[in-house]
Homo-oligomer: A and B are copies of this chain.
C-alpha cells in the first residue's frame, strides 16, 4: 500500500524539527495557510503527533517567532567601534535583512503577545545599546516604544502596498484620471513608485524604512543631547 501523503522526512520528531518545518511551510504557503493538519501532513505524521512537542497552535506560533529570532543570531559584536546610534542602526538593519526573507513574519510578530526568552534577550540587548550610549533610563524607555516594531526591521505600513502590477490596458488610463480627480493629493505624491517594485508584496521599501528609522534615531539623539526629561 502506498502512503498517499508522506512527502517529508520520516525521522523522529522533536521541537526544533517541528518549528523548522513550520517555518518552511509558512515560507511556502504563508501563515494563513499554516494549519496543524497541513503541517502534520508535511511531516508524514498524524496531526495529533505534533501535540507531543508543542502544547497547541499558539505555542507553535510562539516557537516560530523564537526560531526566527535565532536566525538573526548575534549580530554586531564588531559594532563596538560605532556610537550608540550607529550600533542601533546596524542592528535594526541586520534584523530587517533576516526577517525580510520571511515576509509573513511581520504579521506573526504583530499577532503574538507573549514575550518569550528570545524576544526579551533581543530587547534587552537593544536597550543595552542605548543605555551604553549614555541615554537616561527614561529616555531609553520612550525610545524603545517609539521605535517599536521597527526594532525588528518591520515598518508600520498599513494596507501594505499597491497591487504589484498597476492596472494596464484600455480603461486603465481613464480610471487613473478619475482617481487623480477624486484623490488629488495622493496623485501628487504617488508620482514615483519605488524602484525595486519587483521584490513582491510583504517586502517594504528599503529607502522608506531607513528614512523613518533615521527620523526617529535623530529625534532621540536630539532629545538626548538637549537633556530631555518628561517634566521639563
Interfacial residues, chain A to chain B (CB-CB below 8 A): 107, 109-115, 117, 119-121, 123-125, 127-128, 131, 137-138, 140-142, 144-146, 148-152, 154-160, 182-186, 188-192, 201, 205, 207-208, 211-212, 215-216, 218-220, 222-223, 230
Indicate if the CB atoms of A160 and B219 lie closer than 8 Å.
no
Tell whether, in the assembled complex, residue A148 and residue B142 are in contact, meaning their CB atoms are under 8 Å apart. Answer: no
Asked if B220 contacts A121 (CB within 8 A), the reply is: no
* Interface pair B145/A152, CB less than 8 Å apart: no
**Interface residues of chain A: helix, strand, loop or mixed (majority):** helix
Let me know if B158 and A120 touch, CB within 8 A.
no
Given contacts A120-B183, A131-B185, A185-B128, are A148 and B157 in contact (CB under 8 A)?
A: yes
Q: Assuming the A-B contacts A112-B159, A113-B159, are A146 and B185 also in contact, with contact meaning beta carbons closer than 8 angstroms in the complex? A: no
Contacts of A207 in B (CB 8 A): 230
Residue on B with the closest CB to A212? B146
A118 to chain B, nearest CB (A): 12
Contact check, A148 vs B155: say whether CB atoms are below 8 A apart.
yes
A211 contacts B142, C-beta separation under 8 Å:
yes
A79 CB → nearest B CB, Å: 16
Q: Smallest CB–CB gap between A186 and chain B, Å?
A: 5
Candidates B125, B145, B158; contact of A157 at CB < 8 Å: B145
Closest to A114 in B: B159
